């Protein structure tokens, strides 16, 4: 069975032609016999050329990319792609990192990269929680923007002052539906008159 080097290159927009051309040159220089390419953001819901490349590769092949960020959008995405490749008996090579999963060192590096990224995410979430707790303790944490129902007293006061529904909605930045819901609730509890 003969193995093949299959390349994948991606840029975020059509304006990055030079970046894509550079990737294609590097992939050809690495010995790729077939190259899939696309101009699409990594956050796009689908990357059809990457899907085609993943479907195309066969056991013994090597999928080659120039950089990690050209292939995966997150650690979870990277792990899903590498699992899919491993299940097909396909190795991954990332040129900029000199990473080749056909070697024990390459496999270790890939797992370390994934672990480090996961660790960084957990640290970030922990710092975020600490920051929120500190802001709450100092009385600086505001939380969510108040909803229209929290402004019911203001709505009813402005209504009693003779303001029109449109004026009240504009002044308080609430929707028409919110205004009438507040008034209806108040009428139900006899809090305001019907006029």
Q: Where are the beta strands (DSSP E) in the chain?
A: 5-11, 34-39, 62-65, 91-94, 99-100
The DSSP 8-state label assigned to residue 9 in this structure reads: E
Q: How far apart are CA 125 and CA 121, in angstroms?
A: 6
Length of the chain: 195
> Is 102 noted as a catalytic residue in this protein?
no
Catalytic residue among 12, 33, 115, 178: 12
Closest CA to 188 of 154, 157, 152: 152
Quick check: 64 and 71 in contact, CB under 8 A? no
CA distances from 56 to 3, 14, 79, 85, 175 (A): 12, 24, 19, 11, 52
Q: How far apart are CA 147 and CA 172, in angstroms?
A: 10
Closest CA to 69 of 84, 102, 101, 47: 47
Residues with catalytic annotation?
A: 12
């Amino acid at each position: 069975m003969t193995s093949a080097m299959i390349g994948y290159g991606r840029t975020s927009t059509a304006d990055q032609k030079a970046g894509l051309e550079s990737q294609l040159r590097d992939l050809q220089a690495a010995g790729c016999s077939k190259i899939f390419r696309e101009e699409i953001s990594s956050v796009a819901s689908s990357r059809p050329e990457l899907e085609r490349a993943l479907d195309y590769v066969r056991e013994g092949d090597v999928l080659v990319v120039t950089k990690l960020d050209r292939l995966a959008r997150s650690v979870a995405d990277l792990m899903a792609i590498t699992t899919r490749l491993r299940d097909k008996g396909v190795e991954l090579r990332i040129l900029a990192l000199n990473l080749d999963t056909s070697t024990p060192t390459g496999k270790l590096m890939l797992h370390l990269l994934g672990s480090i990224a996961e660790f960084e995410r957990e640290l970030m979430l922990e710092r975020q929680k600490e920051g929120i707790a500190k802001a709450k303790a100092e009385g600086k944490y505001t939380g969510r923007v108040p909803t229209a129902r929290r402004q019911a007293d203001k709505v009813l006061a402005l209504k009693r002052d003779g303001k029109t529904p449109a004026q009240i909605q504009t002044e308080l930045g609430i929707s028409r539906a919110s205004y009438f819901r507040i008034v209806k609730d108040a009428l139900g509890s006899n809090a305001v008159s019907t006029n």
